[in-house]
Amino acid sequence: MSSSTPQAGLTNATSVSASDGIISWTTPNGKDEAKYQNIVFVLDLSQSRSPKPGCIIALLVEDVQNTNKPFRLLLLLADASPDDLRPYHLRGLPDHLRPVKGKQDVDIVVSTKSGIGLSLHFWEDVLRPLWDVVEHHSPEEPSRESPDVLITQDADSVRNFARRIGGSDGSSQSRTIVLLSGDGGIVDLINSVPHDASSSSSEQRQLLLALLPLGTGNALFHSLHKPLWASEGGSKTEDASPLVLGLRTLFNGVSANLPLFRASFSPGSRIVKFTPTTTEESLANDDKSEDNKDASKSLHLAKQETEVSHLFGAVVASYGFHSSIVYESDTPEYRVHGAKRFGMVAQELLRESHPYSAQVQVRYPSAADWERFDGAEHAYVLVTPLSNLERTFTISPASKPLDGKLRLVHFGPVGGERTLELMMKAYDGGKHVGAKWDDGHELRYEEVDELRVTVLEDDERWRKVCIDGTIVDIPKGGELAVRKEEESGFKILVDQRVLPSKLD
């Protein structure tokens, strides 16, 4: 992949020892140490094309506060690997990362605007040198093909890439796409690749997604890896950072079906997003009311709207408080705060405590009939196949990786204080489940196969639904309908320890 010599990035290490969670070594610059949680892999050189004693120990140290150098990759060349490090051993570059002409393509997508903008740093300082050293020291001969690398230029880069690789152009039957992004990269891909689970083309073209969590919430990644970092009681069982876990999965993971759902919308529904622009452009594109003019002057944003009939999702579909948080926090001013932006916007919305006018219906598993919820006002309507929307925000504690079950979280207009209480309990290991009050209000949490929300709001501000971070404006009287997709047509790379057979 690189014209540089992987050997040049190695540091000779002697007196390497490992015990009690600490690995220590000596280099010409002196002694140093790190924790097991920093270990990405231990590459066994006895298995390389030119067998030799010893190993390469790869460690990642992170400091996101250091904007110039947020990542430090250590590649230690050691004479032997301590016995304690056997669980981290890597034989070489796995098959899913080897391009083979006519059989398998490999793409690396670096989403430069995801999260707080660390993807390019991670690619240049961590993933590319790691990939190079593993390929160089693998048992197999290097592939004649190289992975294609996409450095995104704008919000359409991933979608354009997905349309290009999704066509029936006679290219390889399988493809691995390594995404340095957040959940947005996944949703852009699954909605832009031509998708028809019943078609023969879906069965012939296998798309395997590998996710390195460089977004804001990283809900899909955290939920798929949850058994590795949290027990039922919420205590940590694996102290490795999400990026270290992601790298371990990338080089040692296995393929699994990615559960999806389909969200359908009434005619007239529109995807809504804001893009930075000049004040003059904002005023030309926004409504002409004085309020909208003032907002445009202060935010310098232009609203873009695209008609949409349906979207596929892997993370969440919501209406009410959650969708409003996502919609109103998606501005350049808020995005620089990372995950904190959600809490900042939530405080404003809690003060308003708007009751969302809608009709809500669900169909339960194995049931033919629909149940309509009482009341015409709601605060929170959310369905998800995942356990966590952020690493510490457990929205659906019963959800297990890859089980594909949709679970509903719903409560009515309980007021700002109670809503905040529920959100805090979700951050406390999912303790919001089972909440109820003396006045009859309660939080509903249950498995469903389908959800329908008929939006009855006059003000378009309160007519927004969220599908994996994409905001859709539903016309008054229009409907959001969500159901499980039995065959998704996509696969995802996971740690084999989270496979359902391992968790049973």
Tens-place pLDDT, residues 228-259: 987 544 444 568 999 999 999 999 999 999 99
The more confident residue out of 174 and 407 is 407
Instruction: Please give the pLDDT value at position 356.
Output: 98
pLDDT at 128 over 90: yes
pLDDT at 299 over 60: no
**Paired sense of beta strands 148-151 and 104-110, if any:** parallel
d(CA 436, CA 451): 22
Q: What is the mean pLDDT of residues 138-163?
A: 91
pLDDT at 76 over 70: yes
Helical packing angle, 219-229 and 242-252, nearest 10°: 90
pLDDT at 415 over 50: yes
Contacts of 313 (CB under 8 A, 6+ apart): 187, 190, 260, 261, 262, 263, 467, 468
Instruction: Please give the pLDDT value at position 5.
Output: 60
pLDDT at 198 over 60: no
pLDDT at 108 over 80: yes
Would you place residue 6 in the very low, low, confident or very high pLDDT band (cuts 50, 70, 90)?
low
Q: What is the mean pLDDT of residues 107-131?
A: 95
d(CA 492, CA 253): 9
The more confident residue out of 440 and 286 is 440
Residue type, 357: S
Tell me the DSSP string of 377-400.
EESEEEEESSSEEETTEES-TT--
Q: Which region among 2-11, 63-72, 329-338, 411-420 has the lowest average model confidence (pLDDT)?
A: 2-11
**C-alpha to C-alpha distances, 131 to 42, 74, 144, 391, 405, nearest whole angstrom:** 13, 13, 15, 27, 35
Residue type, 139: P
Instruction: Please give the pLDDT value at position 298.
Output: 45
d(CA 200, CA 196): 9
Taking the C-alpha atoms of 396, 401, 406 and 411 in order, what is their torsion angle to the nearest 10 degrees? Answer: 10
- Contact between 248 and 295 (Cβ < 8 Å): no
**Angle subtended at Cα 274 by Cα 111 and Cα 348, rounded to the nearest 5 degrees:** 105
pLDDT at 263 over 80: yes
**C-alpha to C-alpha distances, 244 to 10, 43, 103, 212, 415, nearest whole angstrom:** 19, 15, 29, 9, 40
- Contact between 439 and 416 (Cβ < 8 Å): no
Would you place residue 286 in the very low, low, confident or very high pLDDT band (cuts 50, 70, 90)?
very low
Q: Can you say how many angstroms the Cα of residue 213 is from the centroid of all Cα atoms in its chain?
A: 6
* pLDDT averaged over every residue in the chain: 88
pLDDT at 435 over 80: yes
Would you place residue 206 in the very low, low, confident or very high pLDDT band (cuts 50, 70, 90)?
confident
pLDDT at 153 over 80: yes
pLDDT at 297 over 50: no
